Chains A and B, each alone.
Chain A
């Protein structure tokens, strides 16, 4: 039986880290993830964990130190947001190319500029092609659960990739909600120990890590990274199955909410899914067949599964909490659109960029998207697929 608690998303992430008890945590404060290293260093200084906490002088060094620690044979974790992740960017790619299963708690926030401390997904979208597994979390509970599953996925010998668990800055990171925690010893048993095959600190088998990798080899090494990413999909499902046996909480690649008999649906990630579920329920009462597909696993992107889950719909809206500024569409929209095209599914798709810089997205706005979807359903086509939701325009109050 789990333990009932009330925690913010940051507290939930820090609690998961405490129970995982990693060997090394290297982190630098940045709003809204600052509390995670704060709480964690309290655990360290009070002797609750065995971890070496490296209070680095910046996020670039946070990721570098995590790479060093993980290559040395230790379990390393970090937490960051927005510009912190941008500052790490160089090392993010190096971490995945060295096949180091580092785990990060990413509390999503708008990347500068101009400076803004509130939630959108521009930080995560900036590293979507970096070779990290990316899990998104609607609630504090999901942020906690995803972290408990993270090492089992990342450290699987067919995967060996770093993993980030995303949650929405302030919206879930600072909101206190009910949560069910698992017992320390059970977490320890579930997560297991990390026993890498090759590591720097093994004096009996010195290794060299991070070569100059030229035309003769880099291509193959990159392809191997992608093979690992493909393999991660099944591992994620296997770990989720074990997790469900243990906790009773079920996870997949995505969550279908009233989707199977729906005619119109929204695809979105993180906390917006909560608002969307509320709207779906209201619309269902009115007899409108609305549904939701909430992405949990964004990398690896579950192309076939998503296309299959959406193929029966009459109209679908993809919500992007980050603008790609490419004059074409948001990142999630483009991934969903290409998945649909590849599968041959002929479903009209529309994209809404919303919530930029922490702009609140209300239930009535989500409802307006479903109303638009009803129009699209009747029209059977979309003329202007790249839209904004909640953008203030000239003349608006």
Chain B
């Protein structure tokens, strides 16, 4: 059946309810809602959440925004916690505990880039390597936003954060961002993808569905802008997302059993400036004399995009 957003929204009520306390203009809730919509209506999910914005804004005792089962333990422990849930499911299923269950139970972890790229990288790597049947979704907003916009290894080069401020001597984060999707590809798991919330959500929905219903571990890296950390007007979220993919700053692709497919190639690749300009975290890049900084980012975007094109060609020969 061809993808139809209206039908999906009509037929699959959101499993992540309104009333949560995420900020207006935050990129994460649309990602969560769409990933959860990719579940078959008859299936039940156990969601594990790393400590972060999503957790502290969606499950404040005694209220929860989650209609599926949900567990939060610690910042770095979403993947390892969920691996225990999944192992429990396997053994209890073998013992016949779920003989009368209508659908299946699926396992989905959500973590920000702090809980995923950094403090939770070990537990994520362990869970992926052990082959648990789960999907780990990183909503990547490129800094530790929950504690107040500190740099992470996902923060783009030269971005202004509270621990890499644009100072008079050192102007923002000095290092390029870590390529986590590639690290996950290095685990040789069945499915890795990078996605984003586009206006019709097709890319994200289809990748989430594949990730959830591919047996074994899957990893989704989804860019989710943060209006506070990035400094854009709250009504500009979808525009920022569009600029991220049209500049190839955030390439959309998937890797199925080692085979790369770029799922979006902009007809006209825009200069990265267009993505940087609306964001206050890059304001200092546009000061006279700092043109070299934008050029460095452009070079980085270009080389990573080219590398992806090469990988696609190489793995599809």
Interface residues of A (CB under 8 A from B): 23-24, 26, 50-52, 54-58, 60-61, 64-74, 76, 90-91, 94, 98, 200-203, 206-214, 216-217
Contacts and interface: CB of A to CB of B under 8 A. Distances in A.
Nearest to B61: A211
A214 B126 contact: no
19 contacts: A23-B88, A56-B83, A56-B126, A60-B80, A61-B123, A61-B126, A64-B77, A64-B80, A64-B84, A65-B84, A71-B71, A200-B46, A200-B69, A201-B92, A211-B60, A211-B61, A211-B62, A211-B64, A212-B61
Interface string B89-116: 1111011011001110100000000000
A214 B60 CA distance: 8
B122 interface: yes
Contact of A72 (B84, B126, B129): B84
Contacts of A23: 88, 91-92, 95
B87 interface: yes
B213 interface: no
B61 A69 contact: no
Contact of A65 (B87, B91, B102, B125): B87
A90 B44 CA distance: 29
Nearest to B48: A68
B130 interface: yes
Nearest to B78: A64
A384 B60 CA distance: 51
Contact of A69 (B56, B64, B88, B123): B88
Given A61-B126, A64-B73, A54 B87 contact: yes
Nearest to A56: B126
Residue in B55, B69, B125, B129 whose Cβ sees the most chain A Cβ within 10 Å:
B69
Nearest to A54: B87
A206 B84 contact: no
B67 A68 contact: no
Nearest to A203: B44
Residue in A65, A70, A91, A98 whose Cβ sees the most chain B Cβ within 10 Å:
A65
A203 B122 CA distance: 30
A217 B60 CA distance: 10
A60 B123 contact: yes
A64 B68 CA distance: 20
A217 B62 CA distance: 9
Residue in A26, A51, A69, A213 whose Cβ sees the most chain B Cβ within 10 Å:
A69
B82 interface: yes
B85 A201 contact: yes
Interface string B118-133: 0000110111011000
A212 B46 contact: no
Contacts of B59: 208, 210-212
Given A58-B126, A60-B77, A74-B91, 12 more contacts: A23-B91, A50-B94, A61-B126, A64-B84, A65-B81, A67-B81, A69-B85, A72-B92, A201-B69, A206-B70, A211-B72, A214-B60
Contacts of B71: 67-68, 71, 200, 208-210
Nearest to A50: B91
Given A209-B70, A211-B61, A57 B84 contact: no
A65 B125 CA distance: 14
A56 B129 CA distance: 10
Contacts of A69: 84-85, 87-88
Contacts of B5: none
A26 B132 CA distance: 13
Given A57-B125, A214-B60, A67 B72 contact: no
B70 A55 contact: no
A58 B122 contact: yes
A265 B46 CA distance: 54
Interface string B273-310: 00000000000000000000000000000000000000
B90 A52 contact: yes
Those 8 A-B pairs whose CB atoms lie nearest each other, nearest first? A68-B84, A57-B126, A65-B84, A61-B80, A74-B88, A72-B88, A203-B44, A64-B80
Contacts of B126: 56-58, 61
Contact of A61 (B83, B85, B86, B95): B83
Nearest to B93: A201
B129 A57 contact: yes
B61 A67 contact: no
Contacts of B103: 203
B49 to A, nearest CB: 8
A57 B122 contact: yes
A84 to B, nearest CB: 14
A24 B91 contact: yes
Contact of A203 (B70, B87, B101): B101
B9 interface: no
Contact of A200 (B74, B80, B85, B102): B85
A67 B94 contact: no
B88 A76 contact: yes
A206 B69 contact: yes
Residue in A67, A73, A213 whose Cβ sees the most chain B Cβ within 10 Å:
A67
A52 B60 contact: no
A183 B89 CA distance: 29
Contacts of B83: 54, 56, 61, 64-65, 68
Contacts of B60: 211-212, 214
Contacts of A67: 71, 73, 77, 81, 84
B232 interface: no
Contacts of A51: 91
Contacts of A56: 80, 83, 126, 130
Contacts of A57: 122-123, 125-126, 129
